[in-house]
Amino acid sequence: MAIAARNVTKRFGDFVALDDVSIEVKSGSLTALLGPSGGGKSTLLRVIAGLERPDSGQVFISGKEATALAPQKRGVGFVFQHYAPFTHMTVFDNIAFGLTIRRRPKAEIEKRVEELIELVQLPGLGKRYPSQLSGGQRQRMALARALAAEPEVLLLDEPFGALDARVRKELREWLLRLHERTHVTTIFVTHDQEEALELADEVVVMNAGRVEQVAPPRTLYDEPANAFVMSFVGPVNRLGDTWVRPHDIEIRAEPNGSTSEAQVLRIIRLGFETRVELVREDGEHLHVQLTRDEAEQLELARGDIVYVRTRRERTFSTASA
């Protein structure tokens, strides 16, 4: 195990940010902490980095207990949500910081920083100041800075949160490639389920200071442990006690015995995908996802009467969400 947290609890006044949380992260893996804001994922990351001291519980890094260790002695690289660039230093000096304070020889520092500048694709920008960089460049500078001292663990707090959609997507792919090259054990915090499913080998779903489920993306989507995970990871329809994904609702033009009648309320066409909002005869509203071809074959129009059947519904014994 590269990182383990055991029974970690952290309170801020009356607010319980982490409630007896335990996780284990495999060496070399890329793990996402996924959950709504205020769920405790950033606090957990900060506890692992040593920026917050847990009220109880233990933290292990590379098999050694680190609970009482100061952040500077943990060998972790941390990328902050707003990157925390050293504003009075150039890009070069920012990246070199971890090496400079370790008094490494100048030639070695220069070589390493040049490598990193290459790695994070900021060639020729070494002499700039952070204020002269774009959001995406600043974020990559922060990554290079965190990687410079060769940390055993890389921790990213909402790494793409402050970027626009296109840059986000580029950086995600880039981070994936970077991880494939360096294999540094990485944990990142996100509230975006798509980001977690796309990047991570393993996803830790957190809510209200507790771990709801730890699983690979596929398992998380197909076999959610509870109603919260089902509704947080991917879109969902709730029909009484059962839950069903929008793409697991079949629409037919004719009834076939197991279907029920519904009326089309709205149709939204989003390129490849078509979203249909229906109201069933029992009054339940349904959101359905179809491919464009399926929608065209059905010749759906607003106000039409159609027949629906749900597949792969799930029920959870204790609906907590």
**Beta-strand pair 64-65/56-61:** antiparallel
If one asks whether residue 49 binds other proteins (CB under 8 A), the answer comes out as: yes
3-state DSSP assignment of residue 181: helix
AA identity, residue 276 = V
Provide the token pair at 86.
């050293």
If one asks whether residue 78 binds other proteins (CB under 8 A), the answer comes out as: yes
Among 41, 145, 172, 179, binds other proteins (CB under 8 A): 145
If one asks whether residue 102 binds other proteins (CB under 8 A), the answer comes out as: yes
| Residue placing its CB nearer to other proteins in the complex, 80 or 316 | 80
Please report how close the Cβ of residue 95 comes to other proteins at its closest, in angstroms. 10
Among 88, 166, 181, 218, binds other proteins (CB under 8 A): 88
- Dihedral (Cα; 34, 39, 45, 48), 10-degree rounding: -120
If one asks whether residue 80 binds other proteins (CB under 8 A), the answer comes out as: yes
If one asks whether residue 86 binds other proteins (CB under 8 A), the answer comes out as: yes
| Residue placing its CB nearer to other proteins in the complex, 87 or 317 | 87
DSSP string, 220-257: HHHS-SSHHHHHHSS--EEETTEEE-GGGEEEESS--S
If one asks whether residue 321 binds other proteins (CB under 8 A), the answer comes out as: no
If one asks whether residue 82 binds other proteins (CB under 8 A), the answer comes out as: yes
How far apart are the C-alpha atoms of 71 and 76, rounded to whole Å? 8
Please report how close the Cβ of residue 171 comes to other proteins at its closest, in angstroms. 19
Provide the token pair at 61.
């890094």
Please report how close the Cβ of residue 19 comes to other proteins at its closest, in angstroms. 23
| Residue placing its CB nearer to other proteins in the complex, 56 or 72 | 72
| Residue placing its CB nearer to other proteins in the complex, 146 or 308 | 146
Q: Distances in Å between the alpha carbon of 73 and those of 24, 66, 68, 77, 152?
A: 21, 9, 10, 11, 12
Burial class (CB in 10 A: 0-12, 13-18, 19+), 232: buried
If one asks whether residue 71 binds other proteins (CB under 8 A), the answer comes out as: yes
Provide the token pair at 22.
């335990």
How far apart are the C-alpha atoms of 119 and 131, rounded to whole Å? 21
Among 19, 20, 51, 152, binds other proteins (CB under 8 A): 51
AA identity, residue 143 = L
Q: Which stretch binds other proteins (CB under 8 A): 81-89, 165-173, 269-277, 288-296?
A: 81-89
Please report how close the Cβ of residue 288 comes to other proteins at its closest, in angstroms. 44
Judged by CB under 8 A, how many residues of this single chain contact other proteins? 27
How far apart are the C-alpha atoms of 234 and 316, rounded to whole Å? 16
If one asks whether residue 72 binds other proteins (CB under 8 A), the answer comes out as: yes
**Which residues have CB under 8 Å from 15's CB, separation 6+?**
none
| Residue placing its CB nearer to other proteins in the complex, 99 or 295 | 99
Q: Distances in Å between the alpha carbon of 4 and those of 23, 45, 60, 156?
A: 6, 11, 5, 16
List the interface residues with other proteins, window 105-144 (CB under 8 A): 142
If one asks whether residue 159 binds other proteins (CB under 8 A), the answer comes out as: no
Residues that bind other proteins (CB under 8 A): 49-51, 70-74, 76-78, 80, 82, 84-88, 97-98, 101-102, 142, 145-146, 148-149
